[in-house]
Structure 1
Amino acid sequence: MKQEAIGQICAFDDTAEQKHADARLREAEAALQATTEWAQVTLNSIGDAVVTTDLECRVTYLNRVAETLTGWSSADALGKPLAQVLTLIHGQTFQPATNPAQRAMEENRTVGLAMDCVLIRQDGSQLQIEDSAAPIHDREGCLKGAVIVFHDACHSPTHATKLAYQAQHDALTELPNRILLSERLSQAIGLAKRHTHQVALLYLDLDNFKTINDSLGHAVGDFLLQSVAGRLSESVRDTDTVCRQGGDEFVVLLSEVEKPQDAVRIAKKILSTLAEPYQICSNELHVTISIGVSLYPDHGTDEHTLLHNADTAMYHAKKSGRNNYQLFSAEMNDLRVQNSHLESQLQMALKADDLFLNFQPRINIATGDVVSAEALVRWQNPTHGLMQPSAFLPVAEARGLMVPIGYWVLGETCRRLQAWRREGGDIVPIAVNMSAMQLRDKTLPARVAEILSKTGLDPHFLEMEVSESSLMHLYTNASISTLLELNHMGIRIAIDDFGAGNLCPKHLQCFPIDTVNIAPCFTHGMLDNREDALLVKSLINFGQNLSLRVSAKGVETLEQLDHLELQGCDGAQGFLFSKPLSATDFHALLGSDRQCLPVF
C-alpha cells in the first residue's frame, strides 16, 4: 500500500512540472515576441535604412526606411538575392560596386560602402547612399549573415561638406579653383591694407602643353597637370595658395611679401622645379612655363586688376621667348592693346587674302645652281606697312592663328608652283615651315592631299620644314606616323634650325627626314667661335652619315661659304646669294640659267 502511494505522488509531481515548463515556455515566447516587436518598432523608427541577409546573401529583413529607399516591399524582398534588392554601382564609372554584405562576411569585419556609391532603386531611379555593412554572429560567435545600414547621402552633413569642397576646388588636381582664389585674394588684400605689406600674384601657363595633350592623349595630359600641381604646391608656403585657373593655367597667390624680390625668388624657384623631367606613362616629358607677376598695391588694388595684369605679364613672358618670368609694367598694357588690334587686322587679312609670299633661293654649293627655295610669309599691314614674320607671327601663335596661316602658306605655295609649271617653265621644290600646332593636327595629311589634288602639284616639289625644338615635343607615335604618311605621299621632310635643339640621334632616326638645315646662329659664329666651328663640322658629318642632305642657313660672307664647302656641306641659303624675292622675281630667276652667284 505504501509503495503504491509513493508511485501516485510521483506521477502527480511529473504532471505539475510539465505544466510549469509549458508555462515558462509560453512566457519566454511572449517575451521573445515582445522583444522582436520592440526591435521591429525600434528599427522602423530610426532614420537609417537597415537590410539583413543570411549566409547566402539573401534578404532576411528590411525596415521601413529600407523599403522607401530601395522601392522594394519587405514581402517582395524577403528571400531575394541582395544584389537584386540593393543594386549598387560606382557613381563615376557606373560599374557594379562590390557587394558590401558579402565583403563584410568574407572579411568578418565592418566595412564602409565605396565612395560615390549609387543605389539603383526598383523603379530604375538612382540614389546616392553612404554608410556601412557588418557581419551578424550568434551567441556562440558563429557567422549568421550580415546587416547593411545606409542613408540618403544627399541629406548628410558629410555630403554637404563634400559639395562645398567640390564647389571651391578643381576636380582634377584638387587645387583651389577660381572661386576659392577670389575669396583668399580678397582676404589677403584686406590684411595687406591693415598691415601695410604686399601681395603677389603669379600667373602661370605651360608652354606647348597642347602639343603633349593632343599627341599623347588627354590621360597623359591630365597626369602631367596633376604632377605640375604637386610641384607647385611644394614650391610655396602653407599660407600661400596654388590655384588651377583652368586648362593649363595656374595662379599662385603669395599672401604676404615684403618686397618684389620675394615674388621674383619664388618665380625662379618654380621655373627650376617645373623644368625637371616628368616620367608619365613611360614617357619622359620636358615642360617649361611662362610666368607673369603682379603686386598689390603697385600693380592694382583689386582682384580683377591684379589678375589681369599678372596675365598680361605672363603673355609678355611668352612673347619674350617662354620659360621665363616677367614683372608687370604699365607699358605691357599698351603692348597688349596693340597686339589685340594686330590680331584683329591679321584675321581680316586672312579672310581678305592680303598675305603674300616671298621666296629665298637655296643653292647647291658645288655648282651654284638654285636647287630649292624657302617660302616666307609677308604682310602689308594697313597701319604699319610691310611687316616681317618676326613682327606678327608671335601674335599669331599666341592667338591661335598659326594653323590657318600655315595652311594658307601651304596652299599658296602649291598654287604658285603649279601655275609656273603650267606656263612651261622649270620649277624647284619649295620648303614650307610647319608649326608644331599644325603638325599635331591629325587631319594634316588629308588636308595636304586635298591641296595637292586641287592644285595638281607633284608632291615631290613640296618640302615641309619643322624645327628641331618642335620635333622634341612631337616625338610620339602619332607625330611620327603623320610625318611618315606625308613622306609616303612624296613630300620631302626637313629639320630646320638643326643643332639648336636637343633631339638625340636615336629619336632623329625615327623621323622620315630628307634634309637638315643648320641653324643660322652656328653659321654666323663658326669662323670666330671654335665651339661653333666644331659643332657645324659634326652636324655636317652626322647628317651625311645618315645619307641626309645638309644645308646651312644664314650664309652672308664668302669666308663662311668657303668654310662650309671645305667641310663638305651640300647647300646654302642666305643674303650672300639673294635676299627673299617676290614671286615675280623668283619666277624670273627660275626662267634664267638658275645660277645664284654670291652678291658683292
Structure 2
Amino acid sequence: MEFDDVLPRANGSNDDAKVPDSFFLKKHEKARLIEAETALQASREWAQATLNSIGDAVVTTDLACRITYLNCVAEKLTGWSSSDAMGKPLAEVLILVNGQTLKTAANPAERAMQENRTVGLAMDSVLIRKNGSQLAIEDSAAPIRDRDGFIRGAVIVFHDACHSPLQLSKLAYQAQHDALTGLPNRVLLEERLSRAIGLAKRHQHQVALIYLDLDAFKPINDSLGHSVGDSLLQAVADRLSECVRDTDTVCRQGGDEFVVLLNEIEKPQDAASIAEKILAALAAPFRIGSHELRITTSIGISLYPDHGINARTLLNNADTAMYYAKGSGCNHYQLFRADMNALKEQRRDIEFQLDRALKEKTFFLDFQPRIDIANGLVCGAEALVRWRNPMLGLMQPSAFLPVAEARGLIGPIGHWVLFEVCRQLQAWREEGMEIVPVAVNISAMELQDKSLPSYIAQILAQTGLDAHFLELEVAESSLVYHENDVSITTLTALRHLGIRIAIDDFGTGTASLKRLKCFPLETINIAPCFMHDMLDSPENISFIEALIHFGQKLSLRVIAKGVETQTQLDRLVMLGCDGAQGFLFSKPLSVQDFTMLLGYGQSSYRLHP
C-alpha cells in the first residue's frame, strides 16, 4: 500500500480511507511541545534579560555550591565570564574576606541553605576579584526552592557598596571622625572652625581654640600596651566632652593631642576658665581595667581675632602656646603671645642642634656634691648633663631636655650620661682618688626600656666600675603605673646588679604607699620646693619632718635637695635628716673642679656657724 493511500483525498470522496485518530493526536502533542519549548525559551530569555538589566549582581548555585548562573553585572564585578565560572565552586569565583582583618568570610550560599532563610552578607565584606583587586560589596543570599518546597540551590545578590547611600554616609562620617574616640578629626575641626570664624566676624564676637597635649601618655602606652593606651584616650575624650557646651567641638588632632573649639566667647577669661576645668578633670585618676592611671596636660589657647583671622593661623598659634606651657612645667595652660613664635623657631633650632650634638658628642657633665649632715663630708654627687648650643650658648637642662624627650632623643642622651658617669668615676679611681656614689636621673621613658639593666651591666663591665658607685634617681611623678608594670621589673633587675635606687622629688608626685613598697629603694630625695617654703609656717616644717621620719622608718636614707641657707640646714639637723644638697654647699662643679674636691679627700663642709 502506498503512503498516499492513507491520506484523505482532496475531494473527500474516499470515505473508507480514513487517517487514524492517533496520528492527529501525536501531531498535536508535537506542536504543543514545540510551542511549550518556544515559550520556555522565551521565558528564559526574558528572565535572563531581566536579570541582566537590573543593577545588582546575581549568582546562583546548586546544592553543592557550584556556580549555575552569573548575570552580566556579576561577570563585571567578579571578573569571571559566565562560561568560565559555570560548574566551579562558589568559593573559587566569589572570594569574600573581612575588610578589616582580611580573613576569609563565611560562605553566604551555604549559610542560606543550611539555615533555610535569607541571610545578609557579613559586615565589611570585600570581594577579591579575578584580577586580585578588592571591592566592598553588600546585600544578601537566599535558598532556591522547587515547587514542592525542596531546596535546590542558592542565589546571592550583591552590589558595589562604595556607591550605596548607607556606605556613602558611612564613608563621609569616617572621613570626618576619629575611628578610636568617635570625636571629630582635624578635617571636620577646620571646617567648623572656618564656619565659627565667619559667624564671629558677622556678629562681632570671639572664638577660642584650646590645644591639649597629654604629658605622660607615651610611657603609659609603651609600658602597659596599646590596648590600655587606647582606652585611656577614649576616657580622656569622654571627660573633655563633659567640660564643654553642646555647641562646642572636641576634636582628636592625632596621637595624644586634642583640640577644643569654643564657638562663641565674650572674653579671654572664658577660654581660661574652660582650660582650668579641663586641667582639673584630667588630673583625676583614670581607672582603666586593673590600672589606676594619672596624667597631666599642657594647654595652649589662641583667640580669634586677636591671634589670627583664619583657621590655620589659629591652630598654629594654639599649638605654639601649648609647647610654651609644656616648657613651663606640666599641667599648665598658656594664652598665645606674639613673642612665642620666636620660642617656636628657637625650639626648631634646638631640635636640629640636638641631633648634631648626639652625633658629635658635645654634651658634658657637671657634678653637684651631696653632704652627710652628721659629719659634713661629701657623701655623693648628682651628675647634671650640660650642653653648649653653638647658636644659643650654654643651655639649662630645662630648656633642652623637654625638646629631647619630645623628639625621642632622651634615651640616647641618657645612655651617653650613664656611660660618661661610669667612665669618669673609674678614671678618678684609677688615679688613686677616693670616689663617692654619683646619681643619674632616669626618665620615665628610659624606665620602660626592658633592655636598660643589660645595657648598664655592659657599661659596668666595659668601664670596670663597681655597681654600688652608681645611683639611679627616678622622679616620683614617673611612678604612675600599676604595680605589675615594667618599671618595677627593671628597677629590681638594676638593684640586683648592686646599683643604688632613689626616688627623686619625693613628696610632689602621686605614688601611693602601696606603690612605693614595691620598689627596691635605698634613698629618697625631698624635693627642693619644700626647702624653699619650709620656714614660711610651722605646718611646712611638720610636713618635712613627716617625710624624713617616713623614709627613715622604712630604713631609707633621706636627702634634702635645694638647701640654700644656713637656717634651712640648721632645721634639717634638728629634724635628723641624713644628707643635703644645694647652693649652700656648692653649685654644680665642672669635672676639673670636682676632681680637685675629690683630691682633697672628700673635703669637709662647715655645717654650723
TM-score w.r.t. the length of structure 1 is 0.85
**Which segment is superposed worse, 207-216 or 566-575?**
566-575
SS at 1:95 equivalent: coil
**Which segment is superposed worse, 242-251 or 133-142?**
133-142
What letter corresponds to residue 100 of structure 1 in structure 2? P
1:329 aligns with 2:329: no
SS at 1:66 equivalent: helix
Residues 158-177 of structure 1 mapped to structure 2, 5 A cutoff: 158-177=166-185
SS at 1:366 equivalent: coil
Q: Which runs of no fewer than 5 residues in structure 1 stay unpaired?
A: 1-11
1:280-313 deviation per Cα after TM superposition (whole angstroms, max 9, x unaligned): 3433322222221111111111222211211121
Number of equivalences: 589
2:431 aligns with: 423
**Which segment is superposed worse, 306-315 or 571-580?**
571-580
Matches of 1:266 and 1:508, distance apart in 2: 34
1:541-568 deviation per Cα after TM superposition (whole angstroms, max 9, x unaligned): 4434444333332344566556555655
8 Å contact 1:211–1:473 — kept in the other structure? no
1:460 aligns with: 468
1:550 aligns with 2:558: yes
SS at 1:490 equivalent: coil
1:252 aligns with 2:257: no
Matches of 2:605 and 2:439, distance apart in 1: 21
Matches of 1:509 and 1:364, distance apart in 2: 25
* Pick aligned residue for 2:211 from 203, 222, 240: 203
Matches of 1:401 and 1:371, distance apart in 2: 31
**Which segment is superposed worse, 506-515 or 550-559?**
550-559
2:192 aligns with: 184
**Which segment is superposed worse, 371-380 or 210-219?**
371-380
What letter corresponds to residue 403 of structure 1 in structure 2? G
Matches of 1:425 and 1:272, distance apart in 2: 52
SS at 2:274 equivalent: helix
8 Å contact 1:577–1:596 — kept in the other structure? no
Matches of 2:543 and 2:302, distance apart in 1: 41
Matches of 1:247 and 1:330, distance apart in 2: 27
1:152-188 deviation per Cα after TM superposition (whole angstroms, max 9, x unaligned): 3345555555444444443443433333333332222
* Pick aligned residue for 2:78 from 58, 70, 73: 70
8 Å contact 2:207–2:303 — kept in the other structure? yes
Residues 312-461 of structure 1 mapped to structure 2, 5 A cutoff: 312-341=320-349, 353-379=361-387, 387-390=395-398, 392-397=400-405, 400-461=408-469
Matches of 2:97 and 2:44, distance apart in 1: 33
8 Å contact 1:199–1:256 — kept in the other structure? yes
SS at 1:452 equivalent: helix
What letter corresponds to residue 513 of structure 1 in structure 2? L
**Which segment is superposed worse, 381-390 or 429-438?**
381-390
8 Å contact 2:293–2:482 — kept in the other structure? no
8 Å contact 2:56–2:74 — kept in the other structure? yes
Matches of 2:457 and 2:53, distance apart in 1: 74
TM-score w.r.t. the length of structure 2 is 0.84
In structure 2, the CA distance between the partners of 1:379 and 1:30, relative to structure 1 (3 Å rule), is: closer
SS at 1:188 equivalent: helix
8 Å contact 2:139–2:159 — kept in the other structure? yes
2:16 aligns with: none
Matches of 1:376 and 1:340, distance apart in 2: 23
SS at 1:472 equivalent: coil
1:280 aligns with 2:283: no
2:51 aligns with: 43
Per the TM alignment, residue 248 of structure 1 is displaced from its structure 2 partner at its CA by: 1.6
1:508 aligns with: 516
1:126 aligns with 2:134: yes
* Pick aligned residue for 2:527 from 519, 525, 530: 519
Matches of 1:523 and 1:203, distance apart in 2: 34
8 Å contact 2:294–2:480 — kept in the other structure? no
Matches of 1:275 and 1:527, distance apart in 2: 29
What letter corresponds to residue 286 of structure 2 in structure 1? Y
1:53-77 deviation per Cα after TM superposition (whole angstroms, max 9, x unaligned): 4555454433233234334454565
* Pick aligned residue for 2:582 from 557, 574, 598: 574
Matches of 2:194 and 2:399, distance apart in 1: 39
SS at 2:465 equivalent: coil
1:173-204 deviation per Cα after TM superposition (whole angstroms, max 9, x unaligned): 34333333333322222222222222211111
1:482 aligns with: 490
What letter corresponds to residue 246 of structure 1 in structure 2? G
In structure 2, the CA distance between the partners of 1:534 and 1:138, relative to structure 1 (3 Å rule), is: farther
In structure 2, the CA distance between the partners of 1:561 and 1:291, relative to structure 1 (3 Å rule), is: closer
In structure 2, the CA distance between the partners of 1:134 and 1:266, relative to structure 1 (3 Å rule), is: farther
1:3 aligns with: none
What letter corresponds to residue 517 of structure 1 in structure 2? N
Per the TM alignment, residue 254 of structure 1 is displaced from its structure 2 partner at its CA by: 2.2
8 Å contact 2:291–2:481 — kept in the other structure? no
Matches of 2:281 and 2:66, distance apart in 1: 56
SS at 2:524 equivalent: strand
1:494 aligns with 2:498: no
SS at 1:226 equivalent: helix
1:524-549 deviation per Cα after TM superposition (whole angstroms, max 9, x unaligned): 55566454444444434443444433
Matches of 2:34 and 2:499, distance apart in 1: 99
**Which segment is superposed worse, 506-515 or 230-239?**
230-239
SS at 2:479 equivalent: helix
Per the TM alignment, residue 431 of structure 1 is displaced from its structure 2 partner at its CA by: 0.4
8 Å contact 1:436–1:474 — kept in the other structure? no
Residues 209-220 of structure 1 mapped to structure 2, 5 A cutoff: 209-220=217-228
Q: Which runs of no fewer than 5 residues in structure 2 stay unpaired?
A: 1-19
1:299 aligns with: 307
* Pick aligned residue for 1:88 from 85, 88, 96: 96
Kindly, what percent of the aligned residue pairs are identical?
Answer: 69
**Which segment is superposed worse, 419-428 or 455-464?**
455-464
1:310-342 deviation per Cα after TM superposition (whole angstroms, max 9, x unaligned): 112111221232223222222333444455455
What letter corresponds to residue 589 of structure 2 in structure 1? L
SS at 2:480 equivalent: helix
1:18-77 deviation per Cα after TM superposition (whole angstroms, max 9, x unaligned): 999998888767655543442222113323211234555454433233234334454565
Per the TM alignment, residue 390 of structure 1 is displaced from its structure 2 partner at its CA by: 4.2
In structure 2, the CA distance between the partners of 1:276 and 1:100, relative to structure 1 (3 Å rule), is: farther
Give me the CA root mean square deviation.
Answer: 3.6
